[in-house]
Amino acid sequence: MSAANIPAVLTALKSLLGDGLSTGQSIREIHSRDEAHSTPILPDAVVFPQSTAEVSEIVKICAAHACPIVPFGVGTSLEGHVIPIKGGISMDFSQMNQVLDVHPEDLDAVVQPGVTRTQLNQELRATGLMFTVDPGADATMGGMAATRASGTNTVRYGTMRENVMALEVVLADGTIIQTGSRARKSSAGYDLTHLFIGSEGTLGIITQLTVRLFGQPAAISAATCAFETVDDAVNSVIAAIQCGLPMARIELLDEVQMRGMNLYNPDMDLPEKPHLFLEFHGSDAGVAEQVHAFRAITDEFGASDFNWAKKTEDRNRLWAARHSAYYAAQSLRKGATAVLTDCCVPISALAECIGQAKAMIAKTGLIAPVVGHVGDGNFHLQILVDPQNAQEIATAKSLAAKLNHVALSLDGTVTGEHGVGTGKLPYMQAEHGAAYGVMTNLKRSMDPDNILNPGKLVALN
């Protein structure tokens, strides 16, 4: 887009939105970055639509001037998804944050994209239902769908891919479409709903979601346990999964991460050994049976220091500590920033992949805690670097690149849940081969002027 087009775009948007358009420096700075280790880039303006109709009109104005549009939830993504690398307009969905309908008898809800996962669950409390996708951050539903988010509950309840039934989407020319329905299955045509899930705003802008809900379990039991080695912890998980044990959450934190957890949470005081954080859902009898079976399995791998959290407040403290793992890791090196990466492999290859990762970390001399949703083969590295040390940053990025290639060599993927953005873009061809060309052709077909989040997921000239 020519810079000369910006005044015309802003004039038209101001006429449409009034105070719903901002060119203030501080607002633009908030929308210039996400949680990724990358250089912020200011959008030319930020818009705050209040309805699907407004989103459509904004897109039409931008399309007429070939002006880029980058959807923005709360900015918790980790691969540069919301950075407006081509300038243009950042579209903030904070004012489209209504739970539109809840259907308890059908176990589904209809929400706007700016609704956060905790907001939805707060509104569901009286119904006895819950929305289960929990990536840790209090992300928006639209952002979670756009990045195909998952998290700690995935092993039992699935990712956003399994939990979104229908969408309302605004296309690159401003057309509004509906995909899917509230029916539990359909064989009527292409599955457009799942085309947009994980598309990172590059094919269309999500303005409404219909999502699955689950009943709150009658009984919940959570625990932590320690192991002498990461291999023992991972192999116990593999054995439990292969036995069909229906765990709701099963998280790995290595000994480095546990040191950070104790520093950041002084009342935690757990052994600085590899740990699993666990949760079981079901009836009282079912949970007791799951716990007994899991103890029997982990005994074979030398598990110790079991700590059980049966009270709600104890479980909440446990998972709040897990969700603060990013900040706990930061406490291991004062003043450091983090280069973050994730990968996902078949569960049978998980121990090998983590073992190779830890060997590569040791060679760099950097601190890089390992945290993983090991029940589905996904883990993360948080590589701590001095933000003023270019060599350390280069070393960290090289480490992340090597891990990506290890994951691919084990029939895995370069990202289990962070998404592509710009950070994983260099590895897409290696992972997808000729299929990556199909993705590129889809982008060209649906967004020929390349205005929807340009430069992310697929690279067009």
Q: How far is CA 97 from CA 142, 147, 286, in A?
A: 10, 18, 37
Cα–Cα dist 370/186, whole Å:
40
**Residue-range domain boundaries for the chain:** 3-94, 99-215, 219-327, 332-409
Contact 290, 246 (CB under 8 A): yes
Predicted local distance difference test score (pLDDT) of residue 49: 98
Cα–Cα dist 423/263, whole Å:
30
- pTM here? 0.94
Q: What is the DSSP string of 230-299?
A: HHHHHHHHHHHHHTT---SEEEEE-HHHHHHHHHH-TTT---SS-EEEEEEEE-HHHHHHHHHHHHHHHH
Predicted local distance difference test score (pLDDT) of residue 3: 61
pLDDT in tens, 132-173: 999 988 999 999 999 999 999 999 999 999 999 999 999 999
Answer whether CATH 3.90.1150.110 is correct for domain 3-94: no
- φ/ψ region of 346 (left if φ > 0, alpha if ψ in -120 to 50, else beta) reads beta
Contact 370, 328 (CB under 8 A): no
Closest CA to 230 of 413, 362, 419: 362
Contact 53, 97 (CB under 8 A): no
Closest CA to 30 of 74, 71, 62: 74
Q: Which residues of the chain have pLDDT under 70?
A: 1-4, 461
Q: Which CATH number applies to 99-215?
A: 3.30.465.10
Sequence-distant (≥ 6) Cβ neighbours of residue 90 within 8 angstroms: 28, 31, 43, 45, 46, 47, 70, 72, 82, 84
Sheet bearing 89-92, strands edge to edge: 21-22, 45-47, 89-92, 69-72
Q: How far is CA 160 from CA 14, 70, 141, 251, in A?
A: 35, 21, 9, 19
Q: Under CATH, to which class is 332-409 assigned?
A: alpha beta
Query: Tokens for 360?
Result: 């590569």
Predicted local distance difference test score (pLDDT) of residue 77: 93
Assess whether the region 219-327 and the region 332-409 belong to the same CATH fold.
Answer: yes
Predicted local distance difference test score (pLDDT) of residue 274: 97
Long-range contacts of 24-30 (CB under 8 A, 24+ apart): 28/90, 30/75
Q: For the chain, what's the residue count? A: 461
Q: Under CATH, to which class is 219-327 assigned?
A: alpha beta
Cα–chain center distance at 360: 25
